[in-house]
Structures are given as structure tokens and as C-alpha cells.
Chains A and B, each alone.
Chain A
Amino acid sequence: MSRRALHPLGHLVLARIRMFYRQPEAVFWTYGFPLVMITALGLAFREEPKTTILVDVVGPQAEAFQTRLAKDSRFKVVRPAESDWKKRLQSGKTNLVVETGASPTEPPQFWDEPRRADSLFAREAVENVLLHELVPERPAIAEKHLDEVGSRYIDFLLPGMIGMNLMGGGMWGIGFVVVDMRVRKLLKRLLATPMRRSDFLLSVMLARLIFTLFDMIFLITFGYLAFGVRCSGSLLELSLVMAIGGTSFAGIGLLVASRAQTIDAISGLMNLIMLPMWIASGVFFSAERFPEVFQPIVQALPLTCLNNALRGVMLDGDSIVTQWRPLLALVAWGVVSFTVSLRIFRWK
């Protein structure tokens, strides 16, 4: 029989894969949820180039002033009713209000909102128009725009999401699964057979890496199709970084699961470990924003190492050799966790 020929390791991996895809909710949380999250964040923090300047013009000379501003196509001028403009400025419907004087020669008054950058910017822009009128023969300045894919928030976010997913996958996919089997006494039952313990541990990790592979393909393809996120380094090296990250977190997941005897205990433990890294390890914003004193700790966290390496390859086009520092730290985390968990693992 061909089935018989399959090594126990193969059977164990196959069993894990079947258990996984037969649980639609697990599939969603692994694959669907990150996509939903990245879409939501990508849309919310979409940064459009600032091309329009909203200005309200009021007062006796409003019409004339509007014509003066119309020379610069960036201005979008509105002439609201006298009673409305203050409210419009307060609520951000306009960036600046110009109150013109009784005669064309009388200088206008500017109303801005000094706490809003775009309000100050609008004021500068209008002032510029007025100044240029005084110096009509200024030399034309050539304009060039930097609009490179790779510098947007989504470009920063995607590697962070990949890192976060590798962490979550390793922790939940190993920690939770192992403890669930321990609670069910399935671990004990397997131990009652001649099954090799190493086969079991290896199977859980291998199955995890297979799920992760699909997860990563989804995330990267989705990022490319929906937001045009590219990897500036080599895809092969990116895969290598992800493999190292996934394996390391699988080792940490195993360590977390090695003693826990209840689902509550493992859930608490994993949140305790993951939550600080979600915040501190530069998933959503750069880890360097934390004060200098915390940096040695923040930079040593495994997720920070992984995110740094991922961003290095994806955004800066680094090779893994350049990123040897975080990668080595990551490998160390994985090896130490795995070794310790093998020693303290509660089989019985």
C-alpha cells in the first residue's frame, strides 16, 4: 500500500494540514484577517499629494481677489456668505479665509488656524502670490516631484504586517496547537505509541512553515496587486528572511507551549509575549520612535529584528549579508528557545 510507505513524519504533517484546512475559522484568521487589516490600514493612511489649497475669500473686493488667485491652479477659492466663513475655517472646510478691504489698495486680512499645518501652508501660498505680483519678472523655477513607490506608509506597513504574521503564526500555530493536544490528552496518546518525539515536534513545525509559505505569498501578492508594493531587494533573500523569522517564532511558540497545561494559560502567556512586540517592534510605526534608553531592549526583541531585516530587504534593497545583525539575533532567539523547550517540554 502506498500510504504505508509514507514516513510517520509525513503522516503527522498531513494530519496537521488536514486539521487546519478543515477549520474555516482558523483559515480565516490566518489568511483573511491580515488582508482585511492591511486593506483597512492602507486605505486609512493613504497619502495623496497635496495639490489643492482651499481658500475662502470674503469682503467687498472678494471677486477681484479671486481673479488674482486664479492664476495659480492650486487654489480652490470659495466665496461663502459673510456669516459662514468662521465656521468653515473652524471645521476645516477651508484652510484660510481672506477678508478683503473696502478698496483694491487696502491690504486684506488673513484668518488662519495656527494649529493646522495646511492652514499655515495656505497662508504662505497666498502671501507668495501677492509677493510675486510685486516681482512679475521672476525667473521660472523648474519643478520636479519625488513620487517613488517605496516611501509610502503602505510600503512601510506591509513588511511590518509580514513580521507580525510570522510571529502570530509561530506562536498560535505551534503554541496553541500543542497545548490543545496536551489538554485533549492526545499528546499522551501519541506518546503511548512508538512514535518518535522528534517526528512530532518536527511535524508541527513543518506544517507551520507550509501554512506560512501560503500566508506570505498571499500577503505579498495582495500588497502588490492592491497597493503596488514592491520588494526592492531579491525575492529569494526575502523568502530566506521570512523562513528564518517563521522558524524562530515557531521555536518561541514551542517554548511557550512546553509547560502550559490549559488553553487559558497558553493564551495569556502568548498575549503577554506578543502584545509588547506589536507595539514596540515597529509593526505600525517605527521602533525608533521610542526613547533612546529603551532602544537596546526594543532592538533586541525578535520581532524588531525580523521587521528590520524585512524592511531592509523590501524597502532599501539590502542583501541579507547587510542585514546579518538582526538575522543572527533572530536565529539566536530561535535556537535558544527550541533548545530550552526540548529540555523542559511536558510530554506526560
Chain B
Amino acid sequence: MSSLAISCRQLVKRYDGKPPVEAVRGVDLEVRTGECFGLLGPNGAGKTTTMEILEGLLDATASEKMEVLGLEWGRDDETIRNRIGISLQETRLSDKLTVLETVNLFRSFYRSGLEPIEAIRRVSLEDKCGAHVEKLSGGQRQRLAVACAIIGDPELLFLDEPTTGLDPHSRRELWEIIRGFKSAGRTVLLTTHYMDEAERLCDRVAVVDQGQVIALGTPVELIARLGGQHIVDFSLSGAGNPLTADEVQALPSVQSVRLDGGNFTLSVTEPHVALPGLMNYLQQTGREFATLTTRHATLEDVFVTLTGRHLQEGEEAA
């Protein structure tokens, strides 16, 4: 078996219209068997489109190569369908069916797979077996969607924004379920616009923006590429003449500076060197902090550094 669960090169999806919209503009991806791979990006970045092409639900406008589990859509559809599991963004399953009936129905489509009750147990919905879908909370519905995705005991699991709109507790529960699935040696491809989700759950992350992969690597690698793994955020009180980014850039241990409104974000290698340097400089030049925080760098910082925008900003290219 191929050690790549997914491999695609120069994936393009163009929607005809005036003007035509290129939702995916030449994406290359290689997802290794056994890893949890995340597509991280803002809304409208092309994550879902990429995902649905790989799931065989959308046709690509063009691609140089596209293999899922070493097979190709259009030739081995039934085989692929039997070996993958999918949770779409926002599927509303039939309200009037119970949890068990829903899972039973999905089980009937697969040649082999889990016992329905086992799938329900894995997503901790045993207590809700007889409950109608309409009576479930958002988190429970999402867990049911995952149960339906894993019912065929897939080698490869696609999860499109599995935790969007869920409360923190429900999100953590879902993360546990996904980790459990991965620990059995299975592969997961998920999309998210939560950087913490990508950081905690994913072995590797592709940062996607405007239909292209703009960075690829483990969360640690990506953060390391910022130059500093620590972030210093500060702003100044009104008094004194304005501080320029160049002045700050010149200070010891400072790798990069971003100025957004009146807020400075520094990426630094050694906070214990950078902070005293910054404080001394401000004191000498007669300036004062309004706010000051230090923290570890996140994938959010990676995204902002690469694009100048935040992950959760507007949905312009939807």
C-alpha cells in the first residue's frame, strides 16, 4: 500500500461566471498514511472545495494528479467510497430518525464496518441511542455525524470544520474522538479555521489562503519559521512621539515587527533579552506602555505574518 493516503498536484477548481471564480488555484497536497493533516485557513479560502474534490463530491476543473488511497476518482469510486468516511460541513441528518436508526442506515451502505452500537459508543452517544436527531444538541449532532463517518471503519476520514459553532467542552470531546481514531493508525484530513484546533490536533498543517497553500509543515515548524517562538504584544499610552516599527526592529532578539493600528506585535527569540531592551528603550525615549503581554507564538501569528490578515476576518472570497 502507498504510504500516501492522499496525493494531488496542481488541483484547480474554477466556477464559471462573470467574472469566473477560481476557488482552488493549483493546490499540491500529500497526506501521509496515519497522520492527522489539517487545512487551515479563513472562510472562503478554498478549504471545503479542495476537500470535496478529494472526497469525489466535486469535479476538479484541472489536476495533474489526484490519488486517494492510491486510487482514482472516476475509476475506483465504489472502492474508495467503501474505504473513506466523510463528515460534511453542516449536514442536517433526518430529524425524525433516532441516533441508532441513523447509524444503522449508514451502516447498510457499506460492505464492512463497525457494529452500529460500537460507532455510537466511540462518539459517546450511547445514552442517546433512542433519541430523535432533532432533540440532540449541536455537539451531539456533530458527534453523530462523526459516527456516521466512521461506521464503515474507514482508512481515511474527512472532517470538514468538525467543531465550528460548538462550545469549548464539545470541541474538546470531538478532539478526543478524532485522536482516538488516529491512534488506531488511520488517516484524518480535516479543515478548520481555528488555529488552536490545528495546533493541538494536527501532525501537519497546510495554511490555505485564496485558493493556494501558502505554508506547509508541522505546527512547530511553521511557528519556528516566524523566527521567534515568543510573541510580545504591546501598545503605548498617548503621550510622547509615535514609535516606528524600524526603531523596534533594531532592538535585541526582535525577529519581526508588525504594527496594526497602535498595537505592536513582536516575534522574539528570547523574551528575557527582548523585554528589558524594549523597556529600557521606551524609558530612554520617554514613552509609556498602555498594555503589554507576552505569549507563545501560534499558527494565527503564522497566518497573520504571511497574509497580513487574521484568520477570523471577513468572508470576502466565499
User: Which residues of A pack against B, CB within 8 Å?
Assistant: 1, 3-4, 6-8, 10-12, 15, 18-19, 22-23, 184-186, 188-195, 348
Contact = CB atoms under 8 A, between A and B. Distances in A.
Given A12-B105, A193-B81, 9 more contacts: A184-B91, A185-B91, A185-B92, A186-B91, A186-B93, A188-B57, A189-B93, A192-B56, A194-B110
Interface stretch (B5-13, B18-26, B94-102): B94-102
Interface stretch (B82-90, B233-241, B305-313): B82-90
Interface in B224-278: none
B107 A18 contact: no
Interface of B: 55-58, 78, 81-82, 86, 88, 90-94, 96-97, 101, 104-111, 115-116, 132, 148, 152
Contacts of B101: 15, 18
Given A18-B97, A22-B96, A193-B109, A3 B88 contact: no
A185 B88 contact: yes
A186 B109 contact: no
Q: Lowest 7 A-B CB distances belong to which pairs?
A: A194-B81, A22-B96, A11-B108, A184-B92, A192-B86, A193-B109, A195-B109
5 contacts: A1-B115, A11-B105, A23-B96, A188-B91, A193-B152
Contacts of A15: 94, 97, 101, 105
A10 B56 CA distance: 26
A19 B91 contact: no
A19 B102 CA distance: 11
Contacts of A18: 96-97, 101
Contact of A194 (B82, B90, B97): B82
A188 B88 contact: yes
Contacts of A192: 55-57, 81, 86, 88
A15 B98 CA distance: 10
A348 B91 contact: no
Nearest to B117: A1
Contacts of A348: 57-58
Nearest to B110: A194
A1 B117 CA distance: 12
B158 to A, nearest CB: 8
Contacts of B90: 185
Nearest to A191: B57
Given A15-B101, A15-B105, A188-B88, A194 B94 contact: no
Contacts of B148: 189
Contacts of B78: 194
A191 B82 CA distance: 12
Nearest to A194: B81
Nearest to B158: A192
A8 B109 contact: yes
A186 to B, nearest CB: 6
Contacts of B115: 1
A95 to B, nearest CB: 58
A151 B289 CA distance: 97
Given A22-B96, A184-B91, A7 B57 contact: no
Contact of B86 (A8, A186, A189): A189
A87 B106 CA distance: 74
Given A18-B96, A22-B132, A194 B111 contact: yes
A284 to B, nearest CB: 34
A19 to B, nearest CB: 5
A6 B92 contact: no
A186 B91 CA distance: 6
